[in-house]
Structure 1
Amino acid sequence: MPTALPRFLLATLVAVLAAPSPAHAAPGDRPYVRGGETVPVYDYATAIRESVWVQTPDDTDEDGVPDRVAVDLVRPRTEPGVKVPVVMDASPYYACCGRGNESELKAYDANGVISKEPLFYDNYFVPRGYAFAAVDLTGTNRSTGCEDVGGRHEVAGAKAAIDWLNGRAPGFSADGTPVSATAWSTGKVGMIGKSWDGSVANGVASTGVEGLETIVPISAISSWYDYMRFNGTLRATGYPTYLQGLVSDRIAQCAAVTESLATDSDDATADYNAFWRERDYRRSASRVHASVFVVHGVNDLNVTTPQFAEWWDELAKRGVPRKIWLHQTGHVDPFDVRRDAWVDTLHQWFDRWLQGLHNGIDRAPRATVETSPGVFTEARDWPVPGTRPVAVRLGTGVASYTDAGLPEDVAVADPGAQIHGRLAFRYGPLTAPLRISGSPSVRLRVRVDRPTTQLTARLVDYGTADRVQYDRGEGVRTLTTESCWGESTAADDACYFDVAERVATTDHAVLTRGWQDAAHHVSLRFTTPLRPGRWYAITVPVSAYDATVPAGHTLGLVLTQSDPEYTEAPNTGATVEVDLARSTLVLPVTGPATLKPSTAAPHTRHGVTAENRPERLTPQG
């Protein structure tokens, strides 16, 4: 549990800890394990701090010398014969952008040895018999080589650190002296990290490297194509080179890699090609043997929810031991959502998979979901057991709309109004709560008067409720109080400002969104331009979600085309006709569900309107 002491005071205290075990422990002895859990028996202030450069198999900057990744370690000063596992956060952000809500950076002493690691992991886990390793990704901070943004070299660099901890790769001190970890490391590693850091953990796990026992990807990418492209729609031009330049100051030495990022990513077509296959970790899910603890915000619009949902599905198919936490904020670490429960759960998770302690966490409910602000429920699995995909048709007749490049607040306003550039469908008011858990989609039969256009779909909850305001500060706000998690030194304190969710009462909210380039409807690997006058079946995948729409609310589906807030697809001025009777909204729902279309219909041709009668959702394969 946290303490309430001020940061400046905590940073000056040195805990009085239990006396160490006898000078020479027997192999396998773990004095830090008591009562089935790890406990703080080691003095954090006198922990061993060292910086090691691990040699990788690559020479990305083509200077004739293998790249080396910097591994900054904090580990307990154990008795001879006592070994510890390693918690690892491999990141590109230790020098440029910082980690955590307070954007902490690494700091070094006068000799260039690590004195401060960002985040609480070392403060909390090192006294409990773990080492913590903060790894600079290839080409970032003190590592050499070139950052290739999710590519094989980035993954290989982080993997090399695990190999070094297991005696399979060479490591060196700053003066070139060989350094080994086998005297103190058990070889068991748990990778953790938010955003890019967690994405690297996914990538390394997909190599099947021996020694990686678990990963905890938080708001992480599992396919870089799906991060920078939305089903053939360009999210931003030049995204790979932008990210490389953000985290690396070695661009001058890395012309070949930079050129590949710019050209092989193929902004011109937005196709899924070999460049993106290399960065698609889902393809190698069969190699994952580490357990996986997935954490994601269902309202994360930076790393959108298909990143966790499709990765989760691939892991489930292969029976990978796994757990999932979903919360209602955006791109936020669970440390800043539900701090005390998160630290306790993470502690149990690492004890189970890195220390081999059978504490029951792997037998507990697999899913924890925030169902309303501050209310968390548990389920046996995710999607919630009993969820099935069911469909409701959009209506009858043919409706048309012309691209107007609507901003989202205009697109979803007053679903009963006639707004140029959108189609709005309403179902409700609901007579019972509707639980959506999983990945919706909209299956459209359309005719388009241009070779392509972007198709955008939004699910909207219309009705007054208290909601997390994820569009403001990702849904959280920093408080003036602090809590402390672990032990401190003058250089590295364990105290962090507390954080609370931003909650407000609103009359509607966008639940989830989906985008599809119409010309990529056959395959993401190539375009198939549409022929005017011809009808096409095109599915718009909608990002995974978990929410309950309360009774009395109305569920809305809003269709638009170009989306200036989330993509760079141009406004083509296209007119799209929708065959309503042969178009369906597919929802993953639990329990019985009956949706009643509202009386008002979208603007339609030939005066055809949606029928005002209850429509029972129909199971879909």
Structure 2
Amino acid sequence: MRINQFAQKNETLDTVKKELSELGFLTNETSDTIDGKKLFREFLEKSFPQFQNKSSIEDYFTRMLASTEETLADFFAGDANLSEEVFYCVALQLLEFYEDNFLTVKDFLKAAKDSGVSVIDGDFTKSETVLTAWYQLLTTHNTKGLTFLDELASRGFLAGKNLPQPYFFNGKSQAVFDMTGVIREVVYVESSLDSDEDGVRDLLKVEIIRPKESDISPVPVLFTASPYDQGINHLTGDTKMHEVNVPLTRKTPQKVSYEEIAFGKVPVELPAEREVLGTAEKATETFFEEKVYSLNDYLLARGFASVYAAGIGTKDSDGIQTCGSVEQTESMKNIVEWLAGNRRAFTNRVDQIEIAATWSNGKVAMTGRSYLGTLATAVATTGVQGLETIISEAAISNWYQYYRDNGLVVAPGGFPGEDCDVLAEETFSRSMQAGDYLKMKNFFDEKQLAMARAQDRITGNYNTFWDERNYLPHVKNIKCDVLLVHGLNDWNVKPRQVYQLWNALEKAHVAKKIILHQGQHIYINGMPSFDFHDVVNLWLSEKLYDCQNQATEILPPVIFEDNLEVEKWQGLDNWENEHKKNWYLGADQLQTAPLAPAKVTFKDHLPAKVFEKYAKNNQLWATELLEAASPMTENRFLVQSATLTEDLFLSGAPELSLKVSSSENIGLLSVQLVDYGEKKRLGVTPAMLSSKGLHLGYQWRSDALREFQLAEKTPFKMITKGHLNLQNRHNAYQVDDLKANEMVEISLQLQPTIYKVPKGHKLGLVVYATDFGMTVRGNQEIVYTLDLDQAQLKLPLQK
């Protein structure tokens, strides 16, 4: 196994001594000028909090190695000096490397370096070297996804020590908070909305879990906005899914400017605020089981309160679900305002007893994946006071590009037929309380019908409805720092969502970082190979606790997971770059020099049995589309490069330019960039290593350990894809004319990626029409012709 650490700080010797003294490793009885071997032993003796007497520790030394020839106990009993080799032999055991074959290790220094362990060079007979090496070891990750100090803390090392709260070591807040008495409470924030139009401002249920120490000293807040938190109407949502086996239809050509469809918020006169009938210092409602995000649990033990809210239209709150609207954003913004001391809340829904967040220090971060991260992004674009940073994972930045793309109705991967109205139905958990639903059903149904019309599944055009749900024009308003996380194989919330946000943040002038992994729509906490917990801890310790740890300077702008090697993460200065290279398309060739002009054709229609097979099994279609010989041979244009003589390092959004005609006055184009070559590739879902292997704190919760692993060998892998309605060649709101058999020029930007095509493989390009996993599936009798004269594939490359 190899670990990759980006949040490990190099400290001065003075800081090392200070922080080791605070932890009790250096005491009045332990001089930092004694022999390195003796100092090492004293450090080790303090590193087994599970043992209550020294004889147990001495016994444990007999079961550890100093070398393949000697136990640690025999080494300490002998005359040999401490060496670098012995130190890292012991260090690897403490970090739990090579447990199953430790005696086979020939070179412990090399093994440590190969495992990603930071190795300190120097004279280990001297205390200064041992001090620095031990400090570095405490901040090094073990095979269980924790730093060695985190592991010690989970075994009680920090319990009972007279440490400040919070306590920072190596720039990160440590697990010194008592999790045996956490406080769970519920409040109701009064919003600046009346989304159910009942003449009363919407109340929003907020669930809080915080360390009991926050009653004495306020703590910062991690706020996770999740419309799923109070329940999901899965069955109702399934019945509302839209039919996707429908034909592509012609749209009336129209020249529309953006100004004509731009969203403008209409002022609404709000009901008066509730009368306050009293105040309270303590909440009067509690809860017993929160829909937890384990990253929040990890940070809770380190002095960050966790707050969860589902927002308007959810169980125990008021309002209706509106799926990405300005009202939904406002509801979550209102909760941030209360946490920052700028809005009021009540102890319950009826008594009108006001309660303040006196336990909050006024600094808030928003966290979460998918819809949760989406709302974090949305709230950030309001510039709300108190929101210091967001950690936005797999988030939507433009809802149009989630349910539409370039004039097409395009499904999020894995959810054909879903749309905004379906998602609103699924998350309208007010319907789970029958009495409440009775009052709201007719009003909500009317709003749902209006949403179905406004989202427009007929044309697929960008319109005012979608402009309201596009956060990108408002990124310039962001005032908080931003940490983004996204999967390069996420075909639910596709990579373009984070790519466009990343680029737009240049105008916001805030600190920004991005982490790109090779997975799909997943969380990445709990991976031993990558110090994600430490990255987040370092980031939040700076942003919410004002710890001067230089997180913004230490973390590289881009951290990405290599697709060619297991457990390899690297840093980059930027995702997109200016180095682009043109590849040219021929009738049977893809190369870097212009090719002879040629025209090729493919059809969209499939035999009924083949169509039905693919409609039921999208994965089979995805595989056979790329195979050399398959039922899809006549329904696509596939071209490959010669065998690559060196790795091709893609970084950014590829772009295809060519001329195309349709045999009808309608048409759509889909494109895939493909890596062809037999190889075991990383799976897009991490494999389970241990269901409870990651300890989040002392006498606290645990999380699963997972890791990306190599899957079975495959002959190819899709790198990225793109889609286009030929009547939306210029933009998604203007409808262009399209005449049958008339050549038109198109330029299609594919989803961005970071991907290395290894030498010995071939780069492939596949052009087709219907995408069974994403587009409508009309199975229409359409023939497409591609004019390859000057057809170019522009690839963004890292040098």
Q: Corresponding residue for 2:707?
A: 500
What is the CA-CA distance between 1:14 and the residue it aligns to? 9.3
Residues 1:77 and 2:212 are matched in the alignment: yes
Q: Corresponding residue for 2:494?
A: 304
Q: Corresponding residue for 1:553?
A: 761
Give distance in 1, aligned partners of 2:643 and 2:764: 10
| One-letter code aligned to 2:776 | E
CA displacement 1:93-145 (0-9 Å, x = unmatched): 223359xxxxxxxxxx9964344451224432223222111112211233221
What is the CA-CA distance between 1:318 and the residue it aligns to? 3.5
Contact 1:241/1:258, CA 8 A, preserved across alignment: yes
Instruction: List aligned pairs for 1:307-346, cutoff 5 A.
Output: 307-338=497-528, 341-346=531-536
Q: Corresponding residue for 1:146?
A: 320
| One-letter code aligned to 1:397 | A
What is the CA-CA distance between 1:180 and the residue it aligns to? 3.6
Between structures 1 and 2, the one with greater helix share: 2
Give distance in 2, aligned partners of 1:352 and 1:79: 19
Q: Corresponding residue for 2:261?
A: none
Instruction: List aligned pairs for 1:341-356, cutoff 5 A.
Output: 341-356=531-546
Residues 1:409 and 2:623 are matched in the alignment: yes
Between structures 1 and 2, the one with greater strand share: 1
Q: Corresponding residue for 1:208?
A: 383
Q: Corresponding residue for 1:426?
A: 640
What is the CA-CA distance between 1:358 and the residue it aligns to? 2.4
Instruction: List aligned pairs for 1:60-459, cutoff 5 A.
Output: 60-78=195-213, 82-96=217-231, 112-174=286-348, 176-236=351-411, 237=417, 239-250=419-430, 252=441, 253-338=443-528, 341-363=531-553, 364-372=555-563, 373-383=565-575, 387-395=578-586, 396-404=597-605, 407-414=621-628, 419-459=633-673
Rate the CA distance shift 1:140–1:20 in 2: closer, same or farther, 3 A.
farther
Give distance in 1, aligned partners of 2:229 and 2:370: 13
Contact 2:317/2:430, CA 8 A, preserved across alignment: no
Give distance in 2, aligned partners of 1:365 and 1:317: 19
Contact 2:397/2:470, CA 8 A, preserved across alignment: yes
Say which one has the larger Rg: 2
Rate the CA distance shift 1:272–1:417 in 2: closer, same or farther, 3 A.
closer
What is the CA-CA distance between 1:65 and the residue it aligns to? 1.5
Contact 1:415/1:556, CA 8 A, preserved across alignment: no
| One-letter code aligned to 2:571 | A
Cα RMSD over matched residues? 2.9
Give distance in 2, aligned partners of 1:2 and 1:342: 13
Contact 1:56/1:68, CA 8 A, preserved across alignment: yes
Give distance in 1, aligned partners of 2:161 and 2:184: 21
CA displacement 1:535-576 (0-9 Å, x = unmatched): 211122211111111111100000000111222242332222
SS state at 2:449 partner: helix
SS state at 2:666 partner: coil
Rate the CA distance shift 1:305–1:169 in 2: closer, same or farther, 3 A.
same
Instruction: List aligned pairs for 1:555-570, cutoff 5 A.
Output: 555-570=763-778
SS state at 1:580 partner: strand
CA displacement 1:572-602 (0-9 Å, x = unmatched): 32222111022211111123xxxxxxxxxxx
Rate the CA distance shift 1:307–1:418 in 2: closer, same or farther, 3 A.
closer
Instruction: List aligned pairs for 1:487-566, cutoff 5 A.
Output: 487=697, 494-504=701-711, 505-566=713-774
| One-letter code aligned to 2:739 | R
Alignment TM-score, normalising by the size of structure 2: 0.66
Give distance in 1, aligned partners of 2:725 and 2:643: 32
Instruction: From 34, 53, 59, give the equivalent of 2:194.
Output: 59
CA displacement 1:357-416 (0-9 Å, x = unmatched): 2222211311111112533333342326x5523222212221121114682222211289
SS state at 1:261 partner: helix
Give distance in 2, aligned partners of 1:179 and 1:582: 69
Contact 1:49/1:115, CA 8 A, preserved across alignment: no
Contact 2:230/2:429, CA 8 A, preserved across alignment: no
SS state at 1:420 partner: helix
Give distance in 2, aligned partners of 1:289 and 1:501: 35
Residues 1:38 and 2:38 are matched in the alignment: no
CA displacement 1:164-204 (0-9 Å, x = unmatched): 11222210112535344453222111101001000000100
Rate the CA distance shift 1:498–1:110 in 2: closer, same or farther, 3 A.
farther
Give distance in 2, aligned partners of 1:417 and 1:59: 55
Q: Structure 2, unaligned stretches of length 5 or more?
A: 1-140, 145-153, 234-282, 412-416, 432-440, 587-596, 607-613, 615-620
| One-letter code aligned to 1:369 | F
- Between 341-350 and 415-424, report the one with greater CA deviation: 415-424
Contact 2:142/2:528, CA 8 A, preserved across alignment: no
- Between 399-408 and 529-538, report the one with greater CA deviation: 399-408
What is the CA-CA distance between 1:254 and the residue it aligns to? 1.9
Residues 1:17 and 2:159 are matched in the alignment: yes
Give distance in 1, aligned partners of 2:709 and 2:406: 31
SS state at 1:519 partner: coil
- Between 136-145 and 324-333, report the one with greater CA deviation: 136-145
SS state at 1:551 partner: coil
Percent identical residues:
27
Rate the CA distance shift 1:186–1:112 in 2: closer, same or farther, 3 A.
closer
Give distance in 2, aligned partners of 1:271 and 1:291: 33
CA displacement 1:234-276 (0-9 Å, x = unmatched): 1254611211121223361523432232111111111111111
SS state at 1:62 partner: coil
Rate the CA distance shift 1:14–1:145 in 2: closer, same or farther, 3 A.
farther
Give distance in 2, aligned partners of 1:574 and 1:529: 17
Give distance in 1, aligned partners of 2:773 and 2:292: 32
Contact 1:58/1:66, CA 8 A, preserved across alignment: yes
| One-letter code aligned to 1:287 | N
CA displacement 1:31-63 (0-9 Å, x = unmatched): 544664322232122122211111111111112
Q: Corresponding residue for 1:26?
A: none
Give distance in 1, aligned partners of 2:166 and 2:623: 58
Give distance in 2, aligned partners of 1:339 and 1:173: 44
Contact 1:458/1:514, CA 8 A, preserved across alignment: yes
SS state at 2:568 partner: strand
Give distance in 2, aligned partners of 1:380 and 1:75: 36
Rate the CA distance shift 1:14–1:260 in 2: closer, same or farther, 3 A.
farther
Alignment TM-score, normalising by the size of structure 1: 0.84
Contact 1:55/1:170, CA 8 A, preserved across alignment: yes
Give distance in 2, aligned partners of 1:479 and 1:371: 20
Rate the CA distance shift 1:416–1:258 in 2: closer, same or farther, 3 A.
closer
Give distance in 2, aligned partners of 1:352 and 1:32: 13
SS state at 2:338 partner: helix
SS state at 2:628 partner: coil
Equivalent residues, number: 560
Give distance in 2, aligned partners of 1:415 and 1:457: 18
Give distance in 2, aligned partners of 1:498 and 1:97: 27
Contact 2:189/2:335, CA 8 A, preserved across alignment: yes
Give distance in 1, aligned partners of 2:290 and 2:397: 30
- Between 300-309 and 89-98, report the one with greater CA deviation: 89-98
- Between 318-327 and 374-383, report the one with greater CA deviation: 374-383
- Between 317-326 and 161-170, report the one with greater CA deviation: 317-326
Contact 1:442/1:539, CA 8 A, preserved across alignment: yes
Contact 1:468/1:502, CA 8 A, preserved across alignment: yes
What is the CA-CA distance between 1:79 and the residue it aligns to? 6.7
Give distance in 1, aligned partners of 2:725 and 2:367: 34
Give distance in 1, aligned partners of 2:670 and 2:206: 44
